[in-house]
Amino acid sequence: MEINKIYQSKHELWLKILYSSFSIKNEKIKSQIYDFADIEFRHMKWLSNNMQEQNIAYNCDKFAIDMPKSSTFEVLEYIISEIKLCIKEYDPEDPLFARILSDEFYFITAIELLLKDKSNDGEITAYNRERKYEEKELDDLSRDALTLFLFEESYKEYELILLYGYFQNYTTNILQYNIYQDMIDESQFHLKSFGEMMAKMGVLAIPRTVIPALYQNKDIKQFLTDGIDEEINAKEECAALAEAIDDEEISAFLTFIMYQENYHIELMQKAINNLEVK
Amino acid sequence: MKKTTKENQEELEKAGRVAEISSEVLDHMMNPKNYGVMKDHDGVGMGADKKTGEFAMVYIKLNGEVLEDITFGCNACQDTVVAGSLFTEMVKGDTLDNAVQALRLMEEQLSFVSKKQQACSGMVLQAFRASIINKENRVNGMKEDMFTIDLKESCEGVNLNGNQ
């Protein structure tokens, strides 16, 4: 199979495992599955580097993903079957896939072990649309505002992870590369935080596809400049939501995210300055 | 002291948020219909907000007079996503004439919502309008990748013709 098609399958597999981790309630299993998703993301990075070296274009396309919604065991079995499907696409002669396979064989074994212990099973409520946040009493307005915020921001973080990965692949400048890596790491953390909040509210959803117009033939400086405006808007929204939502824990978290946006703006400005010097 | 509903409403509106999510809207947010690029299309249009850089794209595929397929994509907020999902579901499989009627009807409905929602949801409708123009231009022999209509009002509430 062509490597850019395998990249798309790996992109989908990363999302399937990542969103599985958000949906699982058992903290130990959640953490283990999240780590597997993290490794899958690195596989994507290796593949994209490989394609860049061979001058093969790649994109951020993905097919619609229908996640399992009933139990932890159904989710774990789903992950195993999706990894096995992806493995069928690899070129066994390619050393890159040998590394990937070694990781994925371990994932399968580790998940099979989890499936042997019935006490690991549990209910999945991440998609039930109840929009209750644990035991918190949010009024309707706060609940709607938080729901919208989570949809907007989780998509944005997902988009940034893919776009900064894309730009990282096409730069030879170490400072630029490192800034993009910082931004990816920050967005991974934000996506995890927002994804888990969405799961608690029963509104977990795989983000929509990032359309090619956003990254192909992109003026990176303009993208970063627009990005600073978006970060400023996100900061304002975080501040207003933190103020409006009558819950100490959620407000404190939103305020924390708001301060992180300041750091993102600094990083993006640094990247712009560096592009101008070049 | 606990805030009143009105105070909450004002703060949330300041943050530019829609303060009501029905189960139907939530469904379109969780699972937007007809989202994505259509490769084999007859027309593609963009509705663009020059101020914010946000945009929506609509792709159409016709079979005679029937709008056989329609998809959309966007770099915009959830209002645009929901409007795109709702509108494409509404017109897919119908005649192009009926789809244009639906567009006008939806524009009328939008006059009852906030300026921000008007601009963000209207972006999809302008993209649809642009896709029809693109299709007609292609039929008339023009080599045009895409037709773009710039919004008159930005979703930030700024009149893009120069007035605030």
pLDDT score, position B160: 60
pTM of the predicted protein model:
0.91
> B41 lies in a domain?
yes
A208 closest CB neighbour out of B2, B19, B32: B32
**What single letter denotes the amino acid at residue B67?**
L
Tokens at A45, concatenated: 């990075």
Quick check: B23 and A240 CB within 8 A? Answer: no
Can you tell me the mean pLDDT for B92-117? 91
pLDDT of residue B111: 84
Tell me whether residues B8 and A213 touch, CB distance under 8 A.
no
Query: Based on the structure, what is the number of domains in chain B?
Result: 1
Residue A60 has pLDDT above 80, yes or no: yes
**Mean pLDDT for the stretch of residues A127-131:** 94
Say which residue, A230 or B132, is predicted with more confidence: B132
Domain range for B92 is 32-150
Beta strand B66-75 pairing with B43-48:
unpaired
Residue A244 confidence (pLDDT): 82
In a domain, B92, yes or no: yes
What per-residue confidence (pLDDT) applies to B158?
62
Contacting residues of B for A226, CB less than 8 Å apart:
53
Q: Do the domain assignments include residue B10?
A: no
Å between B67 CA and nearest CA of chain A: 22
Q: How confident is the model at residue B115 (pLDDT cuts 50, 70, 90)?
A: confident
| CB within 8 Å: A244 and B81 | no
- Lowest-pLDDT range, A112-116, A162-166, B9-13, B151-155? B9-13
pLDDT in tens, A83-106: 999 999 998 888 899 999 999 999
Q: Which of A148, A155, A201, A241 to mutate to test the interface with B (most CBs of B within 10 A)?
A: A148
Among A42-56, A87-101, A116-130, B107-121, the range with the most confident prediction by mean pLDDT is A116-130
Calculate the average pLDDT of chain A: 92
Neighbours of A233 (CB within 10 A): 17
Share of chain A above pLDDT 90, in %: 67
CATH number, residue B108: 3.90.1010.10
Confidence tier at B1 by pLDDT (50, 70, 90): very low
Q: Which tens digit of pLDDT belongs to each residue from A181-234?
A: 999 999 999 999 999 999 999 999 999 999 998 888 778 898 898 889 888 888
Q: Give the Cα separation of A79 and A84 in Å (integer).
A: 9
Q: Look at residue A278 and tell me whether its pLDDT is greater than 80.
A: no
What pLDDT, on the 0 to 100 scale, is given for residue B37?
A: 93
A86 vs A83: CA distance, rounded Å: 5
pLDDT value at position B139?
Answer: 95
Segment B73-93 shows an average pLDDT of 95
Does B19 reach chain A within 8 Å, measured CB to CB? yes
Residue B16 lies inside a defined structural domain of this protein:
no
Give me the phi and psi of B69, to 5 degrees please: -150, 150
pLDDT given at position A135: 83
pLDDT averaged over every residue in chain B: 87
What mean pLDDT comes out for the span A168-173? 89
| Candidates B17, B79, B114, partner chain A, best to mutate (most A CBs within 10 A) | B17
Span B16-56, pLDDT tens digits: 454 478 999 999 999 999 999 999 999 999 999 988 889 99
In Å, how far is A222's CA from the nearest CA of chain B?
Answer: 10
Query: Is B20 domain-assigned?
Result: no
Residues with Cβ within 8 Å of B160's Cβ and at least 6 positions away in sequence, in order, are B49, B50, B51, B150, B151, B152, B153, B154
C-beta of residue A44 within 8 angstroms of C-beta of residue A141: no
Q: Average pLDDT in the B126-131 region?
A: 98
Tell me: ipTM over 0.90. no
Write down the pLDDT at residue B6: 54
What's the confidence (pLDDT) of residue A245?
83
Q: Given this model, what pLDDT does residue B10 score? A: 58
Cβ contacts of residue A97 below 8 Å, gap of 6+? A90, A91
Confidence tier at B4 by pLDDT (50, 70, 90): low
Q: Return the structure tokens found at B31.
A: 């699972």
Q: Which residues of B touch A211 (CB under 8 A)?
A: 36-37, 57, 73-75
For each of the domains in chain A, give its residue range(s) and CATH number, in order of start. 1-124 (1.20.1260.10), 127-278 (1.20.1260.10)
In a domain, B13, yes or no: no
Distance from C-alpha of B78 to C-alpha of A147, rounded to nearest angstrom: 11
Q: Are B59 and B38 in contact (CB under 8 A)?
A: yes
